Homo-oligomer: A and B are copies of this chain.
């Protein structure tokens, strides 16, 4: 007979220890608290009186962790305005995290804020890992000085590095530098989809981190379902095998009402 688990997971109330402005629209909130964690996992962040949303852990130390937020809507704007001493509720960490392969020949591909879940992964990977990072513009390149390893950069406006898409750089890397054993990617879903397609073409396994509207964070409410997968629990990181079967990948998502819509509609809804 199994015994019933007891995991009281009411929000753990923590005070912001530091708010570090990373870029005009990006800030990292730090909390002095130790959290068991794997790169790619996320926490639910509650701002009392407002809402609760999922954020990846972008910084992790023995007694401290941080989340990096891009100001987009009501919640994230409020979040990046929090200051030292403000109370926030944390539930988690949730999700599976990346399945880390300590291969010499892997690549990490980040699009914009997609760098957040990848950052702690990059810190664990060998020094010769390829790191490709794309953003709108120079301003939006997260953590410019954080990593030991070199970073290939591209921007939409050409203000830094290659003018164009991360997939251009990834394709070049594969063609010129020889095949890869693993590609980790996070960014807009269309970008991850293209990375996945490129990897499929070249027979390279990849892992991407998906994003859906979430409520419970632990696989019960169904808000985040994507095909046969429960993003908050089975993901948010999915490997090539799951992606091949996931017919909603880059196609459909559920709105807050549970209505299934095209991904574009989902993103414009999230715009309100």
Contact = CB atoms under 8 A, between A and B. Distances in A.
Contacts of A4: 8
Task: Tell me whether chain A's interface is mostly helix, strand or loop, or mixed.
Answer: loop
A6 interface: yes
A10 to B, nearest CB: 12
Contacts of A6: 6
Nearest to A5: B6
A8 B8 CA distance: 17
A6 B8 CA distance: 12
A248 to B, nearest CB: 40
Contacts of A8: 4
Interface string A3-22: 01010100000000000000
Nearest to A6: B6
Interface in A148-162: none
Interface in A1-53: 4, 6, 8
A91 to B, nearest CB: 17
A11 to B, nearest CB: 15
A27 to B, nearest CB: 31
A126 to B, nearest CB: 41
A253 B108 CA distance: 77
A4 B8 CA distance: 10
A181 to B, nearest CB: 44
A178 B139 CA distance: 94
A254 to B, nearest CB: 36
Interface string A157-189: 000000000000000000000000000000000
A12 to B, nearest CB: 12
A6 B6 CA distance: 8
A4 B7 CA distance: 11
Interface in A210-229: none
A208 B12 CA distance: 49
Interface string A235-254: 00000000000000000000
A8 B4 CA distance: 10
Q: Which 2 residue pairs of A and B lie closest in terms of their CB atoms, listed nearest first? A: A6-B6, A4-B8
Interface of A: 4, 6, 8
2 contacts: A4-B8, A6-B6
